[in-house]
Amino acid sequence: MKKLILPVLLLSFSISFGKECKPVKEFYNDHERGWFYKEVCENQKEKQTQKKKSTPESEYHILTDTQVKIPWDKLDKLDPDDIYKLYKRVRKIAVMFPTKENVIEFQKLNIWMTEKGYKFMEQFVKVVRSDTELARYASSVPVSTIGRDTYLKTIADFKKQILKQYKDKAGLVIVVKQGCPYCERQKQILRFFALKTGWKYKLVDIHNVPNMVKKFGIARVPDIFLVLNKNGKPVWIRIGTGLHSEPELEEITVFGLYSLGEIKDNTYVQY
């Protein structure tokens, strides 16, 4: 028994480096882990507590520099992260010590960084317009006013064509609830949608369709479903929850047809 106790004592001594460790009293109550699980040295705990204590003065950062100094000869070689750090420091000094020299240096750094950004954008545009693959992508996202207007008109014509094509093959089912203000507003919008597109829709009260509520997990109203007559069988898909404007109804209806595989080309499908 003595042979067993001696190595244990030596191991305990080597771990604590000669300092006495005592278990914290509350750890005796942890029956699942045992008191030894969280045994700590009391003097170590005291040191940790002392480290956490700090005076308000120790939390202050004194700005020692009062003059802006920018390494102009090295600026072009600095890492962008270092340039950003330099910019923040220069700004602090210029704000706290707004001498003429400090403000001038800060503004010169601003101009230098702006010119760097312009040079990048200039080269970026050149690359995008000259590279075959990038030019193809850029041309699909018009940024000019006339290009944007043409793109939007194309989308509108596409939606109009698709909605006209499927007006006799599909319809909308909207789950509503009596007393719901959003549902009342949605009903008004649906009338305009039907007049414009020729689509049919049906309103059902949530309390009258318990099986549908359970099947689709309906929790909010209005809840909008697209029903497509596919080979003589109705195919259902939820296309929106909540109040939708008339243009939004067009978008989600077209997207629903795309989701069901009726539209193969997604060029003008809005997500």
Considering only CA atoms, which of 193, 161, 155, 169 is closest in space to residue 269?
A: 155
pLDDT digits (tens, 9 = 90+) for 183-224: 999 999 999 999 999 999 999 999 999 999 999 999 999 999
Please tell me the distance from the alpha carbon of residue 86 to that of residue 112, in angstroms, as a whole number. 13
pLDDT at 140: 60
pLDDT digits (tens, 9 = 90+) for 96-126: 999 999 999 999 999 999 999 888 887 886 7
pLDDT digits (tens, 9 = 90+) for 85-96: 999 999 999 999
pLDDT at 162: 96
Residue 42 has pLDDT above 80, yes or no: no
Q: Please answer whether residues 103 and 94 qualify as being in contact, where contact means their C-beta atoms are separated by less than 8 angstroms.
A: yes
pLDDT digits (tens, 9 = 90+) for 244-265: 999 999 999 999 999 999 999 8
For the chain, which residues make up each domain, given as ranges?
Answer: 21-51, 63-141, 166-259
| Residue showing tokens 């040079």 | 119
Compute the mean pLDDT over every residue in the chain, rounded to the nearest whole number: 81
List the CATH code of the domain at 166-259: 3.40.30.10
pTM (2 d.p.):
0.52
Q: Phi/psi of residue 201, each to 5°?
A: -145, 160
Crossing angle of helices 181-197 and 246-259, in 10° steps, is: 70
For residue 266, the number of C-alpha atoms closer than 13 Å in the C-beta half-sphere is 9
pLDDT at 86: 94
Q: Phi/psi of residue 191, each to 5°?
A: -65, -40
Banded pLDDT at 38 (limits 50, 70, 90): very low
Residue 227 has pLDDT above 80, yes or no: yes
What is the mean pLDDT of the segment spanning 156-173?
Answer: 96
**What percent of the chain has pLDDT above 70?**
72
pLDDT at 55: 57
User: 22-26, 119-123, 140-144, 154-158: which range is least confident on average?
Assistant: 22-26
Banded pLDDT at 156 (limits 50, 70, 90): very high
pLDDT at 65: 87
pLDDT at 269: 84
